[in-house]
Amino acid sequence: MISRVHNAEGARIVQLDADQLDGVLKRLKRAQGQIGGIIRMIEEGRDCEDVVTQLAAVSKALDRAGFAVIAAGLRQCLTEDPSGDGVNTTALEKLFLSLA
């Protein structure tokens, strides 16, 4: 279940259901491992092409995790406010573009 709560500062927080959360966490943990690998590759003086390939992979993993979180937030907003009046499309666009 996706629910929206507010933190101490009053900002809305998207909460993902267990399946979505697992997917996002797996992607982020994979990216974390890839970043460690990239650091080792650079320290060992590995081939530039190999380093760039790994950088592209970690970038994609982070993008996919970000898009999953944004999509869940959008779905949540539309579900809670079917009229769309409460959906701040400018803020959503800014979030999507931040991942571009």
| Predicted local confidence at residue 18, as pLDDT | 78
Reported as a single tens digit per residue, the pLDDT across 46-70 is 999 999 999 999 999 898 888 888 8
- Domains annotated on the chain, with CATH: 18-98 (1.20.58.1000)
Q: Please spell the DSSP secondary structure of 19-51, one letter per residue.
A: HHHHHHHHHHHHHHHHHHHHHHHHHTT--HHHH
Residue 4: per-residue pLDDT: 43
Q: How many CB atoms lie within 10 A of CB 16?
A: 19
Report the distance separating Cα 69 and Cα 63, nearest Å.
10
Q: Maximum Cα–Cα distance for the chain, whole Å? A: 56
**pTM (predicted TM-score):** 0.64
> What's the confidence (pLDDT) of residue 1?
41
User: What value does the mean pLDDT of the chain take?
Assistant: 79
What element of type H or E holds 93? Answer: helix 89-98
